[in-house]
Amino acid sequence: MATEQGRRAAVLGSPIAHSLSPVLHRAAYGELGLVDWTYDLFDVDEAALPGFIEGLGPEWAGLSLTMPLKRAVIPLLDEVSETAASVEAVNTVVLTDDGRRLGDNTDIPGMVAALRERGIEQVESAAILGAGATASSALAALARICTGEVVAYVRSEARAAEMRQWGERLDVEVRTEDWADAERALRAPLVIATTPAGATDALSAAVPERPATLFDVLYDPWPTALAARWSMYGGAVVSGLDLLVHQAVLQVEQMTGRTPAPLAAMRKAGEHALAAR
């Protein structure tokens, strides 16, 4: 557990200027009374990552990692959690007092916690829109809460093969369908949209009259066209900000040793920051 005086943490990635992580973590430090803790951001790519980590002093408590570093950091760590290893992606590094580097993935339990906050404890089936890195984390989250089939809607056979492989690895029953048929996904009990901004806009016209739950991992701009139509029709919507806050809560708890982290204050800070944009 880290001491409370003069500790540092930061988020690394490239590009990184858009990150809300400093807003969330600093809000947590304020609520927890960690007045001497700082949280910064650094634009670091894969080539610069080893040197950056080697240069960290004993005042460092932890790092948050975003793209393209989540896989690149793994060889630089002393230990990787089972959760992170399951998707070959680390978004959290805790630097211990004895100099060890521990890697974890808080995106997966963050997704589960964000859904649980909306009352989603278990689903019989689910659909995933997209097949990138976030989609594998979504599959890992569904491994914990989905009792049946997951259908992934993808744009290429190569992506489809990747999703089926992830399903086998995570012990999730995955069926893949072509993106051209993605409207079918919207009738699932849980839809997780993992695509870039604008990719699902055309699907908004196909939202059913009584949609179930949409988890859209985007948060800026928000709402997406799909999320807005989903809400208009009375469906439950979990946002990318919900995910960001819940995974950051877990990071704060690991890095500071303080539990529980102040979820409400962190969400409020994130909402204010997004509104200011």
Kindly give, in sequence order, each residue whose CB lies less than 8 Å from that of residue 168, ignoring residues fewer than 6 positions away. 174
Would residue 268 show up in a list of annotated catalytic residues for this protein? no
CA–CA gap between residue 67 and residue 277 (Å, rounded)? 22
Catalytic residue among 7, 8, 25, 70: 70
Between CA 144 and CA 152, with CA 146 as vertex, the angle to 5 degrees is 110
Give the span between the Cα atoms of 143 and 275, in whole angstroms: 34
Alpha helices in 60-175 (DSSP H): 82-87, 107-117, 133-145, 157-170
Sign of CA dihedral 162, 168, 171, 177: positive
For the annotated catalytic residues, the residue numbers are 70
